[in-house]
Amino acid sequence: MTTDAAIETSGLTKIFGRQRAVDDLDLTVPRGSVFGFLGPNGSGKTTTIRMLLGLAGASSGEIRMLGAPMPGALRSVLPRVGALVEGPAIYPFLSGRANLLRLDAADLHAPSATRRARVDAALDRVGLSHAAQKKAHAYSLGMKQRLGIANALLRPRDLLILDEPSNGLDPQGTREVRSLIRSLAAEGTTVFVSSHLLSEIEQLCSHVAVMSAGRLVAHGTLEELRRGEVRVTVRTPDAANAARVLTELNLPLDEPASGDTAGSGDSVSAVLVDGVLPETVTAALVAAGVRVRGLSVAGETLEERFVALTGEGFDVAG
């Protein structure tokens, strides 16, 4: 288990003054996974990422990244890690290309001979080749974001840590980033991605962790996290009949919307209890002569689960 993890933290804690920004975090990111790191604003995601990358020291706890202790093995680990932390940062007076050349030169282990070729390849990969010679202060938010992602891709990486990679991107850009992450993951790179876009995480990630107020509140595969109640919804003009059939199958009916009595609308929904298959429900409905217009089975969305874990409120955790 230990050697298999791309990132492993135990008891990781960061205290700012009297606030525990990250509190006793035990996180395991399996190698080869696309790992979604979720949490409301101020929940400690970025602080965690800063500690992983050695930018901030942990108050207590341990970090192992790619099998080596951090920040002890920082010099040998970080060249294998590409990162986008809290948005891109640019030298506005340099061209996009010169920005990458400079950041690549900062890597003591990056071979100079291939520098230009690698920079051009990274620019090409994020679709910035045409703007490579342009001064970066003229870049749009999305172009800066692409430049930041290109920086993470300057060398072949074993691990990518991407903080809000889709921030500021147009829908095309978001799709491109999604397919980029998929192709990197297919090449065997572990991708650790934090995002507020739950639909993105849902489409991309194999594993998910959720933070709230500095603590880890959920941690596991996407399936494990989403495994809550699965419900079946029947659209039918014979709602009352359908409700009776579902009750006979021992499926707990949902409370009808206010003002309706059970079965008076044109749809009925119920929790699909373990062991009852959707096709059993369909067969029972048809056998009872219910005119079925549609039947859908849906698990809890990640958003519903996220809100259930981290609370409804709009207040930023302070």
Applying CB under 8 A, does 249 fall inside the site for other proteins? no
Q: Report which of 260, 272, 273, 264 is spatially closest to residue 236, judged by C-alpha positions.
A: 264
CB of 189 to other proteins, least distance (A): 9
CB 11 within 8 A of CB 64: no
Q: Taking the CA of residue 281 as centre, how many other CA atoms within 13 Å lie in the half-sphere pointing to its CB?
A: 28
Region near other proteins per CB under 8 A, out of 84-92, 222-230, 253-261, 275-283? 84-92
One of 30, 32, 61, 87 touching other proteins (CB under 8 A): 87
Applying CB under 8 A, does 89 fall inside the site for other proteins? yes
Report the distance separating Cα 214 and Cα 178, nearest Å. Answer: 27
3-state DSSP assignment of residue 115: helix
Helices (H), the chain: 45-52, 74-77, 96-106, 115-125, 141-152, 171-186, 198-204, 222-226, 239-248, 278-287, 302-310
Which x/- pattern, by CB under 8 A, does the window 126-165 give for other proteins? -------------------------x---xxxx-------
CB of 172 to other proteins, least distance (A): 25
Region near other proteins per CB under 8 A, out of 87-95, 124-132, 242-250, 269-277? 87-95
Written as one letter, the residue type at 238 is D
Nearer residue to other proteins within complex by CB, 194 or 310: 194
Region near other proteins per CB under 8 A, out of 108-116, 166-174, 282-290, 291-299? 108-116
CB of 95 to other proteins, least distance (A): 10
State both tokens at 313. 């409120």
Report the distance separating Cα 282 and Cα 288, nearest Å. Answer: 10
Applying CB under 8 A, does 85 fall inside the site for other proteins? yes
Applying CB under 8 A, does 78 fall inside the site for other proteins? yes
Nearer residue to other proteins within complex by CB, 131 or 147: 147
State both tokens at 258. 């206010």
Residues 13-72 touching other proteins, rule: CB under 8 A, are 50, 53-57, 66
DSSP 8-state assignment for residue 95: B
Q: Which residues of this protein are in contact with other proteins, per CB under 8 A?
A: 50, 53-57, 66, 74-81, 83, 85-94, 98, 101-115, 151, 155-158
